[in-house]
């Protein structure tokens, strides 16, 4: 089989790029190792920057997001039993975020690919990139026991942190930066009314907590837990009790609890691989970088890679102009690192670090005190949260 762009990975990064390229008449094929249902069973991000929302609209996939997603003009930070609101809209001259689950967004992308006759190969096993340093790279994979080959002009590694693309780059040609945090997030999805119309990020001496949502009947909650914890150590009742202890009393008093329909623990790490290109293979999304979810940047950082790749591919195929492809890695990394900084800062600000020396403990308290007493500091938080310009 032959195509112009071979995409490894049918998550949000791969599917969004595939859809955007298709709309521009650029031929592409997505190779996804799992079934569509498996991909859609993963509960992940929930907050979209306005730039991401615009990309979904440009990909002709924004209809359900605009109909069912919720515009959020602000969120709250809970600490010492009280709540302070970050007025995103007021502090950024009118920008907001859309709360719309990654699962739904990925479903919309799959549906659009299907409707437009896009080719997403599911259960493509043992995908391997070949000759990525040449002008005629190709991919091999196995499907239903049969070895297959996909010849392409460019390969996009959109296969997530554990994918094959980054690992296919020769060791000396890639540099990795990493920070692992000494805790994880225990997340619960429940068919209950969200405790608050806006997100609440809670800093508490027992640990961080987050109240989020997917709709007015579907709530998403997280609590910081030690890395050694497992989900079977946390009954629903134990989760709800701990969450209540970390929220201000007026919030926990109205918390509607119910059975968890999903429960998982995600470790927190900051990770960047540089450069995001080797030969004619380009890395995008979690294949190249990971952030702790505290700043809601993960999915949004993936979208900014896709924004740059899409424009670069469009210039290459429509105008024969390679400058966007040449500049991709540097341009994408400049924004990726700003997302890394913000996610690291939000994580250091709001989580409990038991090993913190007393001085560091005071610094953390002062960081929050300064933030909530300075309009300039809150404006800086807000412009990062709604999304910096591409
Ligand atoms: P993905 O990992 O989503 O997709 C990669 C795809 O490639 C997958 O479908 C995988 O099956 C496929 N693949 C992998 N290896 C392959 C191979 N060898 N061959 C073929 N296919 C292969 N972000 C936020 O903003 N907020 C959050 O709250 C948040 N929570 C998260 C919780 C968890 C547990 C995780 C893991 C991530 C979370 N993220 C969050 C980040 C997440 O949303 C990612 O940023 C987003 O999924 C990135 O999308 P992709 O780059 O497409 O990678
Ligand atoms: C979520 O709703 O899953 C979510 C929202 C904001 C975050 C992280 C996760 O910062």
Q: What is the CATH number of the domain that holds 10?
A: 3.50.50.60
The H helix count followed by the E strand count for the chain is 12, 20
Do the Cβ atoms of 295 and 339 come closer than 8 Å? yes
pLDDT score for 385: 98
d(CA 21, CA 179): 34
Is residue 39 assigned to a domain? yes
- Residue 98 near ligand 2, beta carbon < 6 Å: no
pLDDT at 86 over 90: yes
Residues 247 and 291 in one domain: no
d(CA 16, CA 116): 13
Residues 115 and 218 in one domain: no
Query: Whose Cα sits closest to atom 6 in ligand 2?
Result: 296
Ligand 1 mutation target, pool 6, 7, 11, most atoms within 8 A of CB = 11
Residues 211 and 249 in one domain: yes
DSSP-derived 3-state class of residue 183: strand
Residues 250 and 330 in one domain: no
pLDDT score for 354: 86
Residues 139 and 263 in one domain: no
Ligand 1 mutation target, pool 9, 201, 219, 289, most atoms within 8 A of CB = 9
Number of other CB atoms surrounding residue 310 within 10 Å: 23
Q: How far is CA 215 from CA 57, 85, 295, 390, in A?
A: 20, 21, 20, 28
Is residue 82 assigned to a domain? no
Is residue 81 assigned to a domain? no
* Number of domains the chain contains: 2
Is residue 86 assigned to a domain? no
Q: How far is CA 99 from CA 77, 90, 199, 212, 258, in A?
A: 17, 18, 9, 9, 22
Ligand 1 mutation target, pool 299, 307, 339, most atoms within 8 A of CB = 299
Domain that holds residue 311: 5-72+97-178+269-349
Residues 36 and 103 in one domain: yes
Residues 315 and 287 in one domain: yes
Is residue 84 assigned to a domain? no
d(CA 380, CA 390): 16
pLDDT score for 264: 96
pLDDT at 347 over 90: yes
pLDDT at 43 over 90: no
pLDDT at 102 over 90: yes
pLDDT digits (tens, 9 = 90+) for 194-220: 999 999 999 999 999 999 999 999 999
Is residue 227 assigned to a domain? yes
pLDDT digits (tens, 9 = 90+) for 355-367: 999 999 999 999 9
Q: What is the average per-residue pLDDT within 99-110?
A: 96
List of E strands, 80-153: 82-86, 97-99, 119-121, 125-130, 138-143, 146-151
Residues 136 and 276 in one domain: yes
Is residue 80 assigned to a domain? no
Minimum-distance ligand to the CA of 33? 1
- Residue 33 near ligand 1, beta carbon < 6 Å: yes
pLDDT at 70 over 90: yes
């Amino acid at each position: 089989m032959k195509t112009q762009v071979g995409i490894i990975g049918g998550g949000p990064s791969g599917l969004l790029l595939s859809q955007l390229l298709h709309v521009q008449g650029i031929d592409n094929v997505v190779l996804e190792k799992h079934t569509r249902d498996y991909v859609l069973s993963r509960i992940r991000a929930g907050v979209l920057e306005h730039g991401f929302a615009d990309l979904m609209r440009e990909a002709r996939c924004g209809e359900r997001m605009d109909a069912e997603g919720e515009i959020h003009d602000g969120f709250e930070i809970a600490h010492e039993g009280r709540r302070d609101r970050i007025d995103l809209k007021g502090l950024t001259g009118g920008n907001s975020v859309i709360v719309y689950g990654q699962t739904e967004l990925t479903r919309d992308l799959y549906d659009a690919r299907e409707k437009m006759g896009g080719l997403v190969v599911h259960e493509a096993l043992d995908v391997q990139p070949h000759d990525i340093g040449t002008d005629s790279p190709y991919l091999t994979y196995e499907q239903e026991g049969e070895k297959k080959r996909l010849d392409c002009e460019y390969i996009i590694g959109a296969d997530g942190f554990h994918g094959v693309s980054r690992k296919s780059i020769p060791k000396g040609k890639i540099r990795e930066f990493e920070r692992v945090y000494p805790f994880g997030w225990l997340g619960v999805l429940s068919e209950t009314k969200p405790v608050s119309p806006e997100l609440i990020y809670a800093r508490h001496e027992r640990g961080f907590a987050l109240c989020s949502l997917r709709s007015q009947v579907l709530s998403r909650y997280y609590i910081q837990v030690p890395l050694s914890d497992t989900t079977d150590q946390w009954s629903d009742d134990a989760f709800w009790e701990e969450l209540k202890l970390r929220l201000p009393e007026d919030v926990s008093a109205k918390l509607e609890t119910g059975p968890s329909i999903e429960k998982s623990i995600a470790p927190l790490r900051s990770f960047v691989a540089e450069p995001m290109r080797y030969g004619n293979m380009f890395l995008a999304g979690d294949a190249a970088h990971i952030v702790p979810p505290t700043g809601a940047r993960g999915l949004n950082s993936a979208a900014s890679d896709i924004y740059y790749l899409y424009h670069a591919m469009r210039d290459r195929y429509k105008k024969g102009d390679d400058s966007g492809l040449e500049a991709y890695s540097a341009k994408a990394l400049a924004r990726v690192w700003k997302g890394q900084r913000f996610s690291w800062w939000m994580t250091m600000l709001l989580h409990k670090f038991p090993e913190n020396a007393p001085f560091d403990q005071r610094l953390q308290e002062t960081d929050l005190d300064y933030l909530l007493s300075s309009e300039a500091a809150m404006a800086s938080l807000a412009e990062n949260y709604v999304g910096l310009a591409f």
